[in-house]
Amino acid sequence: MNTTSNKQYSSSSSLASSALQVLEARWVVPVLPQGMVLEHYSVVTSDNCILAILPQEQARAQYPSARIVDLNEHVLIPGLINLHTHAAMSLMRGFADDKPLMQWLQQHIWPAEKHFVSELFVRQGTLLGCAEMLAGGTTCFSDMYFFPQSVAEAAVQAGMRANIGLLVMELLSNYACDAEDYLQKGLQARDSWRDNELLSASLAPHAPYTVSNATFEQIITYAEQLGLNIHMHLHETRIEIEESLKQYGIRPLQRLESLGLLGPSLVAAHGVYLTEAEMTSLARHSCHIAHCPTSNLKLASGIAPVDALVKAGVNVVLGTDGAASNNRQDMFAEMRLAALLAKGASGDAESVPAAQALAMATINAAKALGQDNKLGSLEAGKYADIVAVDLSAVEIQPCYDVISHLVYSAGREHVSHVWIAGELKYQKLQGQAGIYADIEPAELKEISTEWQTRLSQYLA
Amino acid sequence: MNTTSNKQYSSSSSLASSALQVLEARWVVPVLPQGMVLEHYSVVTSDNCILAILPQEQARAQYPSARIVDLNEHVLIPGLINLHTHAAMSLMRGFADDKPLMQWLQQHIWPAEKHFVSELFVRQGTLLGCAEMLAGGTTCFSDMYFFPQSVAEAAVQAGMRANIGLLVMELLSNYACDAEDYLQKGLQARDSWRDNELLSASLAPHAPYTVSNATFEQIITYAEQLGLNIHMHLHETRIEIEESLKQYGIRPLQRLESLGLLGPSLVAAHGVYLTEAEMTSLARHSCHIAHCPTSNLKLASGIAPVDALVKAGVNVVLGTDGAASNNRQDMFAEMRLAALLAKGASGDAESVPAAQALAMATINAAKALGQDNKLGSLEAGKYADIVAVDLSAVEIQPCYDVISHLVYSAGREHVSHVWIAGELKYQKLQGQAGIYADIEPAELKEISTEWQTRLSQYLA
C-alpha cells in the first residue's frame, strides 16, 4: 500500500515501527474526558491501536517486553484533524495575498489553476502539504480538490489518514467537464482506495454558487447509497448569500435544507454568516461547521459566530483552508486563533476555553467524519494516532496548565513525534532536524523548487 | 556593563563579535522604503552600526578583510520592537486563562503580584522574557512593571535594547507606596542606566483609572523636563470608559487631552474603544497606539479599530502585552494577527498588508520611541539591530513573496540570528538548539523551575 515504506533515513531506524510500545509521558491529555490531564502516565500501543493508558509504573510492570519511548518533558495528545483544506494549494502559498475572496478566486487562483492544475500538480502539492501538516501534529485531513486520486496517492506516500473529497461542480476545469463527469471520476477514484483503512471519501460539492439543485439531488442520493459524508463551502461571504437571494430567492442554507441536504453527514466549511434560526437548524440536523478562522480573516470574509454556534449546540471543528489563503496548514495556529477570536468577537473571555479549542481539533472533528469510535481521543481501542509535544523549550516556560500551554503558548514547532495507526511517521528530536518515515527531504525540495519556478514565471 | 559577557558556550565562539562583518543574504528587507526586497545583497556592519547595504559582489570587493556570514537561504530584517509588554510576567505565563480583564486582574494577577513581586521576581522574570523575545527576533522592548531597576539589569544581561517604563500609580504595591514614591524610585533607577546606550526610559502612568489628575500633571512636567516619552494603558475596555464617565464625566482620552498629555511622546497601549473624533485627535497630536491584538482578544477586551486608525493617520505599533495575557511574547504572532484581524474586522482584505504589519513592528515602533534616526530599518548609519530569518524550512515552501512569508507563513521558530548593536546575541543553526551569547540555559531552567514551584503552590 505504501509504495515508499522502504525509504528510511539514517537516524530513523526506529521510525514506523508498530510493535508493542509504551509511550511514557510526563503528561497525557486524552481529550475525553474534556480537560483531563494525566501526569506520569503511559500510552501503550499495539499494532495500529491504543491498548491501554496506565500509570507509568503499572505499564512497565504489565508490558515488560514492550519498547519504551521516553517522553519525560512531553505531553501526548490525539493527532490533530484538519477538517477543511485543499492540500495541493501548498504550491500556491503566498501566491496572491491581501485580496478579497472573490477577486482572489476569480482573478488569481482560478486562472492559475486553469494553467497549472494536473495530476502531477495535485500529487506533488498534496505531498508538500502532507509534510507540513505531519510535522505540525496533524494526522488526518479532510481535503477538497481536483484529481482526488492524486490526493490519495500523496496521503498514502506520507502515511497520513485522510478523508478525500470527491469534488463536484458545474464549472469546466482541467480535471472534469461537468458535474456528471466530476461525480463519475470521483466515484471511480474512490473505488481504488476502498481497501485502505487510512483513507475515506466524502462527496464534495464545491459551494452553493457552483452547484445546481439537480446536482445536489444526485449527491444526496449517492451519499445515502454509499454512506459517504458531504463536505462543502457554505456561507463564507456576504456576496454568496446576496447572490443566492437574487438567483433562488432564498439563502444558501435554506436552499440546502429544502433540498434535504442537511444532516449529520454534512460538514460545512466556514459558516461565517448565520442567523440564529440557521444555527438552530444546523444543530437540529446535527450538521458540523468547519471553522477556518485564519482564512476568514485573511480574505476579509468575516468572523464566524463560534460562540453562538457552540451555544446553539452545533458541532464546531477546525480547518486551515488551503495554503493560498492562510498561508499555513498549522492546526496549532487555528486552535489558538479559534480560542482567541471567539473571546474577542463575543466579548466573553470564557468563550472557547483551551480545552474546547483542543476538542474542536480532535474529538469534534472525529465526530464530523463519523469516526469518533476510532479517532479523536486517546482511549483504549482507538487508533494509535498520537502526537507528542515537547514542552521543555525556554519560550514556553514556566507551565501551570498543560492544556492552556498547548493552545496559547506552544506551536507546531514543539511537535516531536507523530504516530499514525501506531507507526512513527515524523520525529524531531531536540536540537535536530525533523525526519519523516516515508518522505525524502530531497523530494520535497525538488517539488517546491520546480513549481516555484513555474508559478513565478507565470506571475511575472 | 554586561556582567556575564565572559560566559560563552562551546559552539558560540563567533557570538557577540562586533568587528567588521558582511552579512551576505539571499534577501534583505530594509523596511524603508516599504515593500522593498533586495536579492543577493549584503548588510555590512562595523562596531554597533550598519555601514552599508550593497550587492553581494560589491560588498566582497569593497570589504575584502571583513568576516562573511553566509545567509544564503535567509532574509535579513531590522530587529523587531515590542512596544508594550510586562516582561517579568513571563513567570505567570498561563497562570489564569480564559477570564475577562477586570476579573483576571483583580482576582488573579494583582493578588499573586502582591504575594510574589520583588526585585528578584522582576529581574528573573524579565530575563526569561528577554530570552523568549530574543530567540523570536525581538531586539528591543518597551516595558512597564514594578522595580524598573531590575528590568534594566535583566535587559543588560541579555544584551537587549529596552525602553523601560518608570511605573507610576496611586496603588500601594510591594514596590512603592504612593504616586510620589513610584516617581522618585523610577527617576532614581533611571539615573543608574543613563550612560547605557541600549537603555532608555519612559514615564509609565499605569492607566487612567489608577492615576490621579495631580499625578498626571506631575508626569507631564517631568516628561518635558527630562525629555522622556510616556507609556500607558488607554481605552483597553468598555468598563474603563464607563467608569471614567461616572467619575470624571468625560472619557479617559478627553481627560488626558484636557490635562495636556497628548503629544508625540505618548505611546498608548490598546486603544480598543475609540471614536472617530478621538482617532482624529490622536493623529493631530501625533500620538502612537500600541496595538496588542492577542491580549485584546484573549481578555475579551475587543478588537482595536486598526484599519480606521491607520486611515486617520495614527502611528500604529505592536505589542505582545505580558505573557499572562497572551501567552507569548512573539512579535511574529502579533504581526500576523494584526494583519489578519484588521482585514476580518474591517471587511477590507487590503487592510494592513504584510509590509505594513512589518513596518508596525519596526520603523513605526522606532518612531514611537523617538529613535527612528537610529532604529527600525536597515539603513547605513543606523544601529546594527538585525535579524536573520531562515526561509528554507519545508513548512514554508514555496516562496513567492518574502514579505508575505515573514508575516503570514514564517514564525519565530525560523529566526536564526539576532544581532543587537552589531553583536550576535542569539543564534540557532539548522538542526541545532539555539544559543544565547550572554544567557546560560541552566540559569533559565533554574528560574522557571523555582518560580513554577512557588506559584503552583500558591495556586493549589
Give residue-wise pLDDT tens across range B279-302. Answer: 999 999 999 999 999 999 999 999
Q: Say yes or no for a CB contact (<8 Å) between A350 and B99.
A: yes
Q: Which residues of A touch B349 (CB under 8 A)?
A: 98-101, 103-104, 298-300
User: Do B339 and B352 meet the contact criterion of CB atoms below 8 Å apart?
Assistant: yes
Shortest distance between the Cα of A406 and any Cα of chain B, in A, equals: 10
How far apart CA B108 and CA B85 sit, in angstroms, is 18
What cell numbers appear for B176 in the block? 512603592
Which band of pLDDT confidence, cut at 50, 70 and 90, is reported for residue A18? low
Q: What is the model's pLDDT at position B8?
A: 31
What is the average pLDDT across A175-193?
97
pLDDT score, position A98: 87
Cα distances from A209 to residues A49, A276, A304, in angstroms, run 42, 22, 19
How confident is residue A19, by pLDDT bands cut at 50, 70 and 90?
Answer: confident
Give the span between the Cα atoms of A175 and A167, in whole angstroms. 10
Identify which of A97, A297, A408 has the shortest CB distance to residue B344: A297
Minimum-distance CB partner of A433 among B341, B351, B430: B430
Distance CA A320, CA A86 (A): 9
Tell me the pLDDT tens digit for each residue of A28-77: 999 999 999 999 999 999 999 999 999 999 999 999 999 999 999 999 99
pLDDT digits 0-9 by tens, A301-320: 999 999 999 999 999 999 99
pLDDT of B226: 96
pLDDT of residue A73: 97
Beta carbons of B408 and A94 less than 8 Å apart? yes
Contact A408 B455 (CB under 8 A): no
Order the strands of the A423-427 sheet from edge to edge.
A49-55, A38-46, A21-28, A67-78, A386-390, A415-420, A423-427, A435-436
In this prediction, what percent of chain B has a pLDDT beyond 90? Answer: 90
Using 50, 70 and 90 to split pLDDT, how confident is the model at B159? very high
Q: How far off is chain B from A8, nearest CA to CA, in Å?
A: 18
CA-based nearest distance A100→chain B, Å: 5
Q: What is the pLDDT of residue A431?
A: 76
Q: Identify which of B100, B337, B351 has the shortest CB distance to residue A349.
A: B100
Q: Nearest residue of B to residue A404 by CA position?
A: B94
Least confident of A111-115, B132-136, B178-182: A111-115
pLDDT reading at A6 higher than 80: no
Q: Residue B11's pLDDT is what?
A: 34
Single-letter amino acid code for the residue at A418 = V
| Cα separation, A208 vs A215, whole angstroms | 11
DSSP state of B88: G
Looking at the predicted structure, is the pLDDT value of residue B77 above 60? yes
Write out pLDDT tens, residues A341-378. 999 999 999 999 999 999 999 999 999 999 999 999 99
| Chain A hits for B450, Cβ within 8 Å | none
Picking from A124, A238, A404, A408 by the largest number of B CB atoms within 10 A of its own CB, the best residue to mutate is A408
- The answer to whether the Cβ–Cβ distance between B94 and A408 falls below 8 Å is yes
What residues of B are in contact with residue A35 (Cβ under 8 Å)?
none
Distance CA B74, CA A175 (A): 37
Q: pLDDT at position B69, please?
A: 97
Q: Which helix (H) or strand (E) holds A253?
A: helix A252-259
What is the pTM for the complete model shown?
Answer: 0.95
Q: What confidence score (pLDDT) does residue A104 get?
A: 85
What pLDDT does residue A119 have? 98
How many whole angstroms separate alpha carbon B404 and alpha carbon B348? Answer: 17
The predicted structure's pLDDT at residue B459: 83
pLDDT bin (cut points 50, 70, 90) of residue A251 is: very high
Q: Express each pLDDT in B358-386 by its tens digit.
A: 999 999 999 999 999 999 999 999 999 99
Residues in B touching A341 (Cβ below 8 Å): 297
- Asked if B404 lies within 8 A of A94 by C-beta distance, the reply is yes
- pLDDT band at residue B15 under the 50/70/90 scheme: low
Measured between CA atoms, how close is A307 to chain B, in angstroms? 12
Q: What is the mean pLDDT of chain B?
A: 94
Q: Kind of pairing, strands B38-46 and B229-234? A: unpaired
Across the interface, whether the CB atoms of B303 and A344 are under 8 A apart is answered: yes
Does residue B255 contact residue B244 with C-beta atoms inside 8 Å? yes
Q: Is the pLDDT of residue B306 over 90?
A: yes
- pLDDT digit string, tens, across residues A146-171: 999 999 999 999 999 999 999 999 99
CA–CA separation, B38 and B53 (whole Å): 9
- The chain A residue lying nearest B91, using CA atoms, is A398
Of A97, A349, A431, the CB nearest to B354: A97
What gap in Å lies between CA A335 and CA A345, rounded to an integer? 15
Nearest CA in chain A to B443: A394
Question: Rounded distance, CA B338 to CA B361, Å?
Answer: 10
**With contacts defined as CB-CB under 8 Å, which chain B residues touch A325?**
none
Using a CB-CB distance cutoff of 8 angstroms, which residues of chain B are in contact with residue A299?
343, 349
Q: Contacts of residue B136 in chain A, CB cutoff 8 Å?
A: 395
The answer to whether residue B99 scores a pLDDT higher than 60 is yes
Q: Which of A130, A134, A400 is best to mutate for the B interface (most B CBs within 10 A)? A: A400
Q: What is the pLDDT of residues A75-124, one digit of tens each?
A: 999 999 999 999 999 999 998 898 877 888 888 998 999 999 999 999 99
What is residue A316's predicted lDDT score, i.e. its pLDDT?
98
Cα nearest neighbour of B398 on chain A: A448
Could you give the CA distance from residue A133 to residue A87 in angstroms, rounded to a whole number? 9
Question: Could you tell me how many CB contacts below 8 A there are between chain A and chain B?
Answer: 206
First and final C-alpha spacing in chain A: 41
φ, ψ of residue B296 in degrees (nearest 5)? -60, -40
CA distance B168 to chain A (A): 28
Interface residue of A236, A270, A340, A436 to substitute, partner B, most B CBs within 10 Å: A340
Q: Cβ contact (<8 Å) for A340 and B294?
A: yes
pLDDT at A1 over 80: no
Is the Cβ pair A394, B128 closer than 8 Å? yes
Residue-level pLDDT at A17: 53
Instruction: Choose the closest CB to B344 out of A132, A302, A449.
Output: A302
Q: What is the pLDDT of residue A13?
A: 39
Contact A331, A318 (CB under 8 A): yes
Chain A interface, best mutation among B85, B92, B93, B443, by max A CB count within 10 A: B93
What is chain A's mean pLDDT, rounded? 94
Closest residue in A to B294 (Cα–Cα):
A340
Output the nine-digit C-alpha cell for A185: 471520476
> How near does any CA of chain A get to the CA of B100, in Å?
5
pLDDT at A9: 31
- Quick: pLDDT tens for B28-52: 999 999 999 999 999 999 999 999 9
Of the partner residues B298, B348, B397, the one whose CB lies closest to the CB of residue A128: B397
Q: How far is B169 from chain A (nearest CA, A)?
A: 26
Q: Is the pLDDT of residue A10 over 50?
A: no
List CB contacts (< 8 A) between A348 and chain B: 100, 300
Q: Are the beta carbons of B297 and A95 separated by less than 8 Å?
A: no
- What is the reported pLDDT for A430? 80
All three cell numbers of B135, joined, read 530567540
B404: nearest CA partner in chain A: A94
Name the strands in the sheet holding B423-427, side by side, starting at the edge strand that comes first in the sequence.
B49-55, B38-46, B21-28, B67-78, B386-390, B415-420, B423-427, B435-436
Which residues does A306 contact at the CB level (< 8 Å), separation at least 6? A291, A316, A338, A341, A342, A345, A346, A351, A352
* pLDDT (0 to 100) of residue A2: 35
Identify the band that residue A256 occupies on the pLDDT scale cut at 50, 70 and 90: very high
Q: Which of A136, A300, A301 sits opposite B395 (nearest CB)?
A: A136
What residue spans of B260-370 are helical by DSSP H? 276-284, 293-298, 306-312, 331-346, 354-360, 363-368
Domains annotated for chain A, with CATH where assigned, are 17-79+377-436 (2.30.40.10), 80-368 (3.20.20.140)
Q: Going by DSSP bridges, is the β-strand pair A266-270/A229-234 parallel, antiparallel, or unpaired?
A: parallel
Helix or strand (DSSP H, E) at B50: strand B49-55
pLDDT digits (tens, 9 = 90+) for B386-443: 999 999 999 999 999 999 999 999 999 999 999 999 999 999 988 788 999 999 999 9
Mean pLDDT of the region A194-210 = 96
More confident residue, B13 or B262: B262
Look at A132 and B395 and tell me if their CB atoms are within 8 Å: yes
**Angstrom distance (rounded) from CA A396 to CA B189:** 30
C-alpha–C-alpha distance, residues B268 and B229, integer Å: 11
Give residue B10's pLDDT. Answer: 31
Q: Which residue of B has its CA nearest to A449?
A: B398
Answer yes or no: is pLDDT of A173 > 70: yes
Per-residue pLDDT at A4:
36
Res. B4 pLDDT band, cuts 50 70 90 = very low
Q: What is the pLDDT of residue A229?
A: 96
Question: Which residue of chain B has the CA closest to A457?
Answer: B400
Q: In this complex, do B131 and A394 lie within 8 Å of one another by their Cβ atoms?
A: yes
